[in-house]
Chain A
Amino acid sequence: MITLNELDELLFTIKKQFDYDFRDYSKASMLRRIHRFMDINNMKSGVDLKFELINNPTIFQNFINEIVVNVSEFFRDPSFFKSLQEKVFPYLDSYPKINIWSAGCSFGEETYSLNILLKENKLFPKTRIYATDISSNAIERSKKGIYDNTNFKDYTKNYYECGGKESLNNYFVSDERHSMIQSELKQNILFSNHNLVADSVFKECQLILCRNVLIYFNSNLQNKALELFYQSLPVHGFLAIGKKESLRFSSVYENFKEVDREEKIYQKIK
């Protein structure tokens, strides 16, 4: 396993050799991901790891896919999605066209959850969703929209808790082991690679959804990402972050008001 000093050195090498900059990611989280990667791949020391990363491009790609956390679920935090429908959707409905940015979409669960609710609230036909992630693996999987059936019991429960009006199965085509999201629900989503660390504003969006992504950054990088979101929102646009994340340390804090304090939904006021 590696020490904090070795971690700093490794992240510096990765930046220099591959131009991926993880130096402002949460060190605690990085250390955990890297230890997991080393465990899976049977690497004993920082030297082993560095050697493999530099000399084996396949290993490097696997490394990137593994250390970027891609765990998600459908309708995580039902109370959040309930609030979004009650407090944000009516406002969005006043726009003739709606752009939404789902930032850090991982395997697409969060983005498709949102899209299902847009459909049930009749906002679907006028909405375009831009779903981005740093990991190209995640983007490919999101586009496919195929999920293991194992957790669908939980998803169904979540779906009803956030006020789902149909049967969740209606939105999927399933066999015994997998379920694929209906193709109609893919049509208004543009999935693409975007790096919150390095890339800039690409579109004005009335709602930005970025939940449980900022936790993997240090305060400095959180601040940068939040500034990027601020610039991408029109006045009165909405920002939703994770339930235990905070705008407090950010320079744009003053420019938002709380729409739902508990669910961390904010509106840009200036």
Chain B
Amino acid sequence: MKPEVIIIGGSAGAFDSILSILNNLDKNINTSIVIVLHRLKNTTSSFESILQRNTHYSVKEVEDKEEMKKGFIYTAPADYHLLLEEDRSFSLDVSELVNFSRPSIDVTFESFSAILKEKCCGILLSGSNHDGASGLKIMAENNGKTIIQDCNEAVYRMMPLAAKNICDKHKELTTQNIINILNNECS
């Protein structure tokens, strides 16, 4: 089934893979893309503008209660958790850190999966903590498509490995194969 949204979670070492995925996505992928990357708070980051230079989609940092539209790439703002409402609008949340992180990938995976069930796809990339693993498991249990970066390819393998260790339903793929599968199944 074609997902309504692709959610990419990553931490240390994930940035290059994200760029390469965005760079190589087909033009006719008709979904929304959400990126949750651990980042520093209170710093002006050029994250969005770098992404924008690498994709033909429009890149937008999420604002509270904004409607999630197809053909856009959304980023989770620093220092907020990112959630999804039933009417497909985003909600932000400043409650406690989860896995020492805000935004937490687990929080976003779990919230989107509760609403979209099998209609969302989660991808977990390189990182040196365990964030994302339990959310990705929930997504797999809700029959969403779940992918982890090849643990041998990931700059920091701890994150994809943690996901693999608690759930055997995820596909483990190199960045190139992630691109292939998205282009095949989402366009």
Give chain A's interface residues, CB within 8 Å of chain B: 4, 26-29, 31-33, 69, 71, 77-79, 158, 161, 212, 214-216, 218-219, 222, 242-246, 249
Contacts and interface: CB of A to CB of B under 8 A. Distances in A.
A33 B110 CA distance: 13
Top 5 nearest A-B pairs (CB, nearest first) are A28-B83, A26-B91, A28-B91, A69-B95, A215-B64
A218 B107 CA distance: 19
B42 A77 contact: yes
Given A28-B111, A32-B111, A79-B42, A71 B95 contact: yes
6 contacts: A28-B84, A32-B93, A215-B65, A222-B65, A245-B64, A246-B66
B16 interface: no
B42 A161 contact: yes
B118 interface: no
B85 interface: yes
Contact of B65 (A4, A69, A161, A246): A246
Nearest to B77: A244
B25 interface: no
B125 to A, nearest CB: 24
Interface of B: 42, 61-66, 77, 80-81, 83-86, 89, 91-96, 107, 110-111, 114-115
Contacts of A216: 93
Contacts of B66: 246
Contacts, number: 75
A26 B94 contact: no
From A4, A78, A243, name the one whose CB has the most chain B CB atoms within 10 angstroms. A243
Contacts of B115: 4, 28
A210 to B, nearest CB: 13
Contact of A29 (B61, B89, B93): B93
A132 to B, nearest CB: 18
Contacts of A31: 111, 114
Given A28-B91, A29-B95, A245-B92, 20 more contacts: A4-B115, A26-B83, A26-B93, A27-B85, A28-B83, A28-B111, A29-B83, A31-B114, A32-B95, A32-B111, A71-B96, A79-B42, A158-B42, A214-B64, A215-B64, A215-B92, A219-B65, A244-B80, A245-B64, A246-B66
A31 B93 CA distance: 12
A69 B85 contact: no
Contacts of B92: 215, 242, 244-245
Nearest to A35: B110
